[in-house]
Amino acid sequence: MSPVARLGGGRSPIWMWTRPEGVESAALDQLRAIASLPYIHHHVAVMPDVHLGKGATVGSVVAMREAVSPAAVGVDIGCGMAALRTSLTASDLPDDLGAVRSAIEAAIPVGHRHHADVSTRVRRSADLWDAFPGLHPKVSGLLGRAMTQLGTLGSGNHFIELCLDADDAVWMMLHSGSRNIGKEIADAHIRVAKGLAHNTGLPDRDLAVFLAGTPEMAAYRHDLRWAQEYAWRNRQTMLALYADALRGFFPSLRVPCPPAEGPHMGEAAFANVNCHHNYVAEEHHYGADVLVTRKGAISARAGEYGIIPGSMGTGSYIVRGLGNPEAFASAPHGAGRRMSRSKARRTFTLDDLRTQTAGVECRTDPGVLDEIPAAYKDIDEVIGFSGDLVEVVARLRAVLCVKG
């Protein structure tokens, strides 16, 4: 149960579940900057899908004592995955899934779109909206937008997929976060953190931290909890809309009931997973109570189910955590990019995209070229490096993909 590599270069060591030579030099420099912070507890854990991020590296797990860095969470607070195993099997699906994809795209706004009005389903989240006036003043006027964006996909690497497992069971899966409201909250607090005196002289101003016992920390933790809850409910709302769209073609469709928020344990949880991979949690590691930020990483406590997705046209995995203490009980969040979006657009053609997504009902236009599978790391290699972090319980193969 050991990392592949251990690096020095900062106040704290860096433990990596991948080979350093496979990580871009800028990301390694960024990890060393994180490890130089005086608040780091024990070490920085680096997942197999690691790549350069803003301020903090994507694919990093950072435990801090009495402090938290918003950049180590990311601006899409609560971004994560959800998956449901349905009652359908491969034999229930038509040969042409084009109409099904169109129905899903009609039911769930993608990209910068949002719902035209606020549905009854959204209004039921009254406790979420009751807490809204207490958020940072910079977002106080965004309640209407937040309500119409609940149950929407977003853009970039967010997606909705219809998948098959090895037993030909049909799964619904999606990837999304807290939409623009989470980014607004993150940006507002990062600006506050950068202005605090104790953050003077940091190796990267984007690594600014809040300290425990301060009003700034309390305000950030309050807003962070709200955004994480919003992201979780956003995925649950989309799953309900997704199921409604599918029932137009498959009236007998049944899906498991939503689980309570929290650790996903047991057989029932295997069929219904909703997990963050950009978030903060209060945990106990190496003899201390700490704040753990996972940016591009999932919780993988012993017996806890999670999702490690691939890219368009590749496989994804339902996994069960092994609770590896050296990784702060964490695992990777997906394939992780191996090249920038601009480089992907320069490198590949639409013919390449069609070839790499053959057999998947999806868009193959210029708007999604930067999401081509070859722009991402090999998901099977990522899983290979994760053998002491999780065990695989199901491999999913996409047959339909909706992109933002």
CA angle 60, 66, 71 (to 5 degrees): 35
Binding site for Mn(2+): what residues are annotated?
76, 158, 175, 277
Answer for the pair 276, 230: CB distance below 8 angstroms, yes or no. no
Question: Measured between alpha carbons, how far is 311 from 128 in angstroms, rounded to an integer?
Answer: 32
Assess whether 112 carries a catalytic annotation: no
CA angle 365, 97, 237 (to 5 degrees): 85
Binding site for GMP: what residues are annotated?
157-161, 277-278, 309-312, 316, 333-336, 403
Residue tagged 């270069």 (tokens): 9
136, 189, 264, 333: the active-site residue: 333
Binding site: what residues are annotated?
76, 157-161, 175, 277-278, 309-312, 316, 333-336, 403
- Residues 6 or more apart whose Cβ sits within 8 Å of residue 118: 147, 148
Q: Name the residues annotated as catalytic.
A: 333
